[in-house]
């Protein structure tokens, strides 16, 4: 029997609960129409499945990694062809291949095609009941195991178990209710489920839920506070709280977001800022120490949405934080490097080194709302920034953004890595103060851009590390290159950090 890697959501104390996905910008164009809500479900589920593949790929041997290259390449092509649920099916196929199961059982095929739909996503602690469906996510003929059951567990953000229940496997899309008496405590939770049929079992992808006391009164108070902010509330704090409020309102309505926001924790931070508005920047910094936070950086009327994580312990007086910017590819978001792209390894590796990791949101062709220099200025209101140690990593479209940012202000950056994309650079001689890494998969359609970047730098006599990775396509390239990239960044900073 094939071995399957059990995959659960990251907890709030480490990665916080969110799933980034890969989907194109046109899917977001319909406001809150039903089509847009369906698109958010697709974003969410694609991210979960990509993360599951990346975790399995990290644990696999070279032979199984190579075998997964073809279905991964097919998944990427389906995605860019806007066949999102087909892409999800092919990601699941890649996961099974990585785990050594070319011919999965009917029970596994049935289980892997399901998604957990659970409501409410954000609720008042007085609301007792969970509504749960195990939905078929993509097309196919699947045989429901007649004698199977499903084990469901409710976990706190730290992984400790709150409650569990077991029931016969419901029909697809049939709603079941669960009233766990133990989840009256406010906080962020995960709902996990496992389908069992005799000796076989298969874990489904977990869902994040949040519980808040006096939810509506908290949201109303936050709305009034951000609409009429006190004079001593920093601009970034106000913009950040307004964005959190929008997300919280959507979650309370049951609208699936692209990721699992730890909304109970974020609303707790918002409450602290309402009590002490002058400490808004400091409290936002605290929210990012050892956990993830979403900030809306503000300069004049311009804004940039970023996801950040800082080392857990605050910096000693007189010490400052190196900064690592992570730029995602087309159709992604600020969440992508934190959840997929090696299942968040780039963030982990940066924070382990004592760096502030910052992933900006960017649109197709428009980049982030602020350039890196402006983002650093806004971040300095929250964190002690070391401007002599600023680094860049970008994937696909993000590789192009790395080149753009470096070309605009080359003196700002210590090192830059472009993966799965790039282009030739005009006036490349200006970039000689930056250490450069360029990489692509052997099956990567972005390989020509990555190679063109390396050639243009070499033609200007600028040292560049260029590497191609066998049996790697456009998506896994980040995961495959991370160890090399961080060894390169360590060398560029003049020391080997572990």
CA-wise closest residue to 464 among 478, 479, 452? 452
Could you tell me the two tokens for 48? Answer: 């979960």
What are the residue ranges spanned by the domains of the chain?
A: 105-210, 214-287
Cα separation, 135 vs 354, in Å, equals 42
Look up the pTM and report it. 0.91
CA-wise closest residue to 139 among 208, 89, 81, 211? 89
Three-state DSSP string of 219-255: HHHHHHHHHCCCCCCCHHHHHHHHHHHHHHHHHHCCC
CA-wise closest residue to 456 among 482, 430, 487? 430
Cα separation, 212 vs 407, in Å, equals 46
Contact 339, 476 (CB under 8 A): no
Contact 207, 260 (CB under 8 A): yes
CATH number of 105-210: 2.60.40.1930
Could you tell me the two tokens for 430? Answer: 């200006």
Distance of CA 107 to the CA centre of its chain: 29
Long-range contacts for 166-172 (Cβ within 8 Å, ≥24 apart)? 169/134, 169/144, 169/145, 169/195, 170/133, 170/134, 171/144, 172/114, 172/134, 172/135, 172/136, 172/144
CA angle (60 as vertex; 58, 61 as ends), nearest 5: 125
Cα separation, 466 vs 90, in Å, equals 30
- pLDDT tens string, the chain, 498 residues long: the values are 333 333 332 333 333 333 333 333 333 322 223 344 467 899 899 999 999 999 999 999 999 999 999 999 999 999 888 899 999 999 999 999 999 987 899 999 999 999 999 999 999 999 999 999 999 999 999 999 999 999 999 999 999 999 999 999 998 889 999 999 888 999 999 999 999 999 999 999 999 999 999 999 999 999 999 999 999 999 999 999 999 999 999 999 999 999 999 999 999 999 999 999 999 999 999 999 999 999 999 998 899 999 999 999 887 877 899 999 999 998 889 999 999 998 999 999 999 999 999 999 998 777 799 999 999 999 999 999 999 999 999 999 999 999 999 999 999 999 999 999 999 998 888 999 999 999 999 999 999 999 999 999 999 999 999 999 999 999 999 999 999 999 999 999 985 444
Cα separation, 389 vs 492, in Å, equals 10
CA-wise closest residue to 337 among 11, 15, 1? 15
Contact 83, 23 (CB under 8 A): no
């Amino acid at each position: 029997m094939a071995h399957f890697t059990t995959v659960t959501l990251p907890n709030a104390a480490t990665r916080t609960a969110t799933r980034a996905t890969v989907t194109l910008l046109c899917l977001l164009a319909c406001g809150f129409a039903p089509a847009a809500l369906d698109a958010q479900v697709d974003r969410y589920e694609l991210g979960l499945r990509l993360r599951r593949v990346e975790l399995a790929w990290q644990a696999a041997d070279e032979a199984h990694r190579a075998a997964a290259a073809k279905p991964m390449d097919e998944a990427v092509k389906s995605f860019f062809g806007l066949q999102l649920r087909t892409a999800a099916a092919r990601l699941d196929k890649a996961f099974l291949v990585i785990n050594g199961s070319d011919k999965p059982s009917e029970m596994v095929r049935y289980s892997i095609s399901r998604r957990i739909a659970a409501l409410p996503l954000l609720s008042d602690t007085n609301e007792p009941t969970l509504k749960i469906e195990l939905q078929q996510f993509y097309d196919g003929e699947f045989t429901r195991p007649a004698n199977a059951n499903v084990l469901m567990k409710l976990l706190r953000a730290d992984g400790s178990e709150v409650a569990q229940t077991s029931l016969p496997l419901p029909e697809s899309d049939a709603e079941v209710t669960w009233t766990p008496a133990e989840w009256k405590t406010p906080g962020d939770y995960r709902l996990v489920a496992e389908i069992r049929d005799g000796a076989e079992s298969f874990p489904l992808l977990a869902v994040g839920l949040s519980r808040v006391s006096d939810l509506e009164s908290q949201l109303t108070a936050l709305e009034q506070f951000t609409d009429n902010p006190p004079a001593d509330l920093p601009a970034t704090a106000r913009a950040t709280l307004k964005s959190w409020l929008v997300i919280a309102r959507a979650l309370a309505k049951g609208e699936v977001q692209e990721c699992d926001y730890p909304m109970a924790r974020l609303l707790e931070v918002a409450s602290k800022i309402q009590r002490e508005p002058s400490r808004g920047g400091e409290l936002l910094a605290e929210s990012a120490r050892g956990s993830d936070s979403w900030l809306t950086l503000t300069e004049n009327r311009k804004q940039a949405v970023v996801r950040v994580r800082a080392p857990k312990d605050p910096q000693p007086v007189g010490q400052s934080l190196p900064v690592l910017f992570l730029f995602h590819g087309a159709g992604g978001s600020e969440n992508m490097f934190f959840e997929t792209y090696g299942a968040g390894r780039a963030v982990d590796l940066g924070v382990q080194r004592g760096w502030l990791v910052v992933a900006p949101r960017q649109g197709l062709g428009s980049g982030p709302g602020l350039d890196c220099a402006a983002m650093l200025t806004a971040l300095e209101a929250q964190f002690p920034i070391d401007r002599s140690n600023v680094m860049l990593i970008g994937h696909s479209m993000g590789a192009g953004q790395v080149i753009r940012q470096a070309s605009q202000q080359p003196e700002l950056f210590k090192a830059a890595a472009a993966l799965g994309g790039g282009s030739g650079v005009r006036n490349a001689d200006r970039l000689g103060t930056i250490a450069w890494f360029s990489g692509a998969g052997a099956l990567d359609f972005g390989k020509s851009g990555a190679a063109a970047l390396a050639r243009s730098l070499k033609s200007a006599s600028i040292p560049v590390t260029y590497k191609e990775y066998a049996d790697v396509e456009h998506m896994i390239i980040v995961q495959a290159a991370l160890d090399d990239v961080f060894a390169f960044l360590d060398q560029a900073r003049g020391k080997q950090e572990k």
